[in-house]
Structure 1
Amino acid sequence: MTVIVRDLRPGVPADAEAFARVRTLALPFFLLTPDSLAYDLAHAHPDSHYRPLVAEEDGEVIGTAQVGLVHDSPEPGQGYINVYVHPERTRRGAGALLARAAEEHLAGLGATRLFTWVLDEPGNRVFAERHGYRARRSAHFLRLDLANGTLPPLQNPPPGVELRTAADFADDPRPLFELDAHTLADEPSDIDREFTDYEAWLEETWRHPLLSLDLTSVVVADGRPAAFSAARTDGAARYGTVMTGTARDHRGRGLAKLAKNASLHRARAAGFTEAFTGNDAGNDPMLAINKWFGYEICATEVQYARELG
């Protein structure tokens, strides 16, 4: 049996379906569908050099890799490689072949530092370290049972505050772009990123097929968005919060809780049964908020980095 690595073929539904299936089996806490994968590939920023790869054994896709440059970072030369192998097809060399192909691709583009996330399990960590990567920070995946769990009661906004949805900004989403960029700057990360390209944000975030405008909550204070909770869904039963944030001058007022609670209640009413989110392991304020909602840690991942000489 021979394992080969090749590019994901754009416009081939069977490829996208196989990629999404393997990725979901290996990382069931992260929402990915064939349609979202195809969209990401078709609308990736040209400076990201985004290149999804698959490992194939006798015609069966058994491994995946998402590879690219962090194009929106003020520091050039940073690349990422996220490799996932079918849980029942490990130890066939697929991961090593994917990592090698990805590293060669990024090195050829001038990358000087590579980042990767691996699940916090001994085999995965040994694999990363064997390939020259060193551990940096960790993050948690959290899950909430929407079907059977008990959400906090819905809250009334304080005086002067309105609770809206992203759909209310469909004609002009720029205020949400500005709030997203503002809060991103405070996200714990080893990679600095800046949202400065509004058109790119529209393509990569606002028009993304998994984003739900109706379930994304926006808190408006003084006539401007002050907090939000961005929601994605797989169109079936799974819902995910991909970003919850508050403008700096409105923090400490419980507005993030207000936004997220409203989104979760609407998601449950719409029939979604599982809610997922992720937090940096050192982000104690957001972890406390998610614990208040009833989320429980279901997995931990570790970010590794490698310097290219």
Structure 2
Amino acid sequence: MRIREAQPNDAPAVVALRALVFPYVVRGVESTRKMIAEPPPEEAWTAFVAEVDARVVGWVSAERIGTTSIANFGGINLLHVHPEHRRRGVGTALLAAATDYLRPLGIRRVRAVALPDALPFARRHGYEPSREVRYSALDLNPAPALPEPPAGVRLRPVADLDPRLLYVADVASAADEPGDVPVDAKSYESWQYEVWDNLGLDKAASTAAVVDGAVVAFSLVKRDGDRMWSDYTGSVPAYRGRGLARLTKAAALHRAAASGVRIAYTSNDEANAPMLAINARLGYRPIAAQWSCLAELT
């Protein structure tokens, strides 16, 4: 078993491994390749793979979380190991590589995620469960009907928008999103990399509600073939309670289905009751759970 830094040509093997362990997480080969080759700005991002006989059997990424005002906070993301290679020290070695990378950056507190059956592993390494995240799926056959917007509201694909208008709405809507840390320091450059320039973003299906030239609600679609990920749906605080988040999500699902998407996935913090209610009304069904877990680096 060998642990090494991920390389761009690992992307197909990494995506295949992810599809096996997390079939509901939609990330394509090209977007994964770009992330490895051109890491996100401001986040000191890196990734490691575990190899056995030249075959990728494990993955983890590590970063300084640059979207929060909390200093020295890091993330260890989607650590996973091929089922045939578990309980052989692969996960422990990947976690050690990620931790050893973060410590010299001055990171003092770390968030990781764990499947429910991996919580004993997390606890053994000093991570305590913090928040439960629900993964849900929606069969898009039949697709939701294209909704009719209320007076004064226009539904537009984000391809037609100035991206800075979408960025402003994203920042405003995310400020009170449930989570371990506030999302209150997202720069335009970081957002542009993560969202607007993401190779998986379907700008024709992603939909915004526009009032008087401003984006007041939106739903973003990341796509890989006939699968999609509802990356983020939100509305700015002044326009909440009007059904606009559900409106934009239904429109995005309709447009994605019309272009060949057959199944949609999403995730939500279990404390995010409004979004969970929207998903239930749209017909999403729970399919999996994960826990965010927190640890101190000493």
Q: TM-score band (shorter)?
A: over 0.9
Task: State the Cα distance separating 1:46 from its structure 2 match.
Answer: 4.3
RMSD after superposition: 1.4
Shift in Å, 1:44: 2.5
Percent identity of paired positions between Structure 1 and Structure 2: 38
Alpha-carbon distance in 2 for matches of 1:46, 1:278: 24
In structure 1, what is the equivalent of residue 242 of structure 2? 253
**Which blocks of at least 5 consecutive residues in structure 2 are unaligned?**
none
CA distance in 2 between partners of 1:279 and 1:43 (Å):
28
Please give the per-residue CA displacement for 1:113-162, whole angstroms capped at 9, x wherever unaligned. 111011122xx011000111111011101001113x563x4321111111
SS in 1 for 2:42: helix
Give the match for residue 85 of structure 1. Answer: 81
Q: Distance in 2 between matches of 1:46 and 1:273?
A: 33
Name the CA distance, whole Å, in 1 between partners of 2:102 and 2:189: 25
2: CA distance between counterparts of 1:57 and 1:196?
A: 38
Q: Which residue of 2 aligns with 1:178?
A: 168
Q: How does 1:92-131 map to 2 (within 5 A)?
A: 92-121=88-117, 124-131=118-125
> What is the aligned counterpart of 1:35 among 30, 33, 50?
30
| Structure 2 residue 262 is matched with structure 1 residue 273 | yes
Of 123, 126, 134, 1:132 maps to 126
Say which SS state the counterpart of residue 25 (structure 1) adopts: helix
User: Does the 8 Å CA contact 1:143/1:274 hold for their aligned counterparts?
Assistant: yes
The code of the aligned residue for 1:7 comes to E
Amino acid at match of 2:85: R
Alignment correspondent of 1:220 = 210
Q: What is the total number of aligned residue pairs between the two structures?
A: 297
Instruction: Report if aligned partners of 1:43, 1:204 keep a CA contact under 8 Å in 2.
Output: no
- Identify the residue that residue 287 of structure 2 maps to in structure 1: 298
Q: CA deviation at 1:196?
A: 4.4
1:195-228 deviations in Å (ceiling 9; x for gaps): 5422332222101000011010100113211100
Q: 1:4 aligns with which of 2, 6, 9?
A: 2
Structure 1 residue ranges, 4+ long, deviating more than 4 angstroms after superposition: none
Contact 1:40–1:204, Cα closer than 8 Å, also in 2: no
Contact in 2 for aligned 1:43/1:203 (Cα 8 Å): no
User: Shift of the alpha carbon at 1:70?
Assistant: 0.5
Alpha-carbon distance in structure 2 between the residues aligned to 1:247 and 1:46: 26
In structure 2, give the amino acid aligned to 1:8: A
Which residue is equivalent to 2:155? 163
User: Could you say which residue in structure 2 is the equivalent of 1:198?
Assistant: 188
3-state SS, counterpart of residue 88 of structure 1: helix
Number of the residue aligned with 1:145: 139
**Which of 15, 18, 22 does residue 23 from structure 1 map onto?**
18
C-alpha distance in 2 between matches for 1:35 and 1:237: 15
**8 Å CA contact retained: 1:44, 1:204:** no
Query: For 1:110 and 1:19, how far apart are their aligned partners in 2?
Result: 28
Amino acid at match of 1:173: P
Aligned to 2:48: 53
CA distance in 1, matches of 2:189, 2:143: 39
CA contact (8 A) 1:48 1:69 kept: yes
CA contact (8 A) 1:150 1:294 kept: no
Spell out, residue by residue over 1:94-122, the C-alpha distance to the aligned partner (whole angstroms, 9 max, x if none).
1000001111111121110111011122x
- For 1:195 and 1:79, how far apart are their aligned partners in 2? 14
- Over 3 Å counting, the alpha-carbon distance change for 1:287 and 1:50 in structure 2 is same
Q: Residues 281, 208 of structure 1: CA spacing in aligned structure 2 closer, same or farther, 3 A cutoff?
A: same
Contact 1:212-1:233 within 8 A present in 2 as well: yes
Map Cα deviations across residues 76-98 of structure 1 (whole Å, 9 max, x no partner): 21111121111232112110000
The answer to whether the aligner puts 1:288 opposite 2:277 as a matched pair is yes
Within 2, Cα distance between the matches of 1:202 and 1:47?
12
CA distance in 2, matches of 1:297, 1:47: 34
How does the TM-score come out when normalised to structure 2?
0.96
Per-residue CA deviations over 1:212-263 (Å, capped at 9, x if unaligned) read 11010100113211100011101x1101111100111111111111101111
Q: Determine the C-alpha separation between the residues in 2 that align with 1:47 and 1:199.
A: 9
Decide whether the 8 Å contact of 2:69 with 2:185 is kept in 1.
no
CA distances 1:268-287 after superposition (whole Å, capped 9, x unpaired):
11111110011101111111
Q: TM-score, normalised to structure 1's length?
A: 0.92
| 1:187 and 2:181 are equivalent in the alignment | no
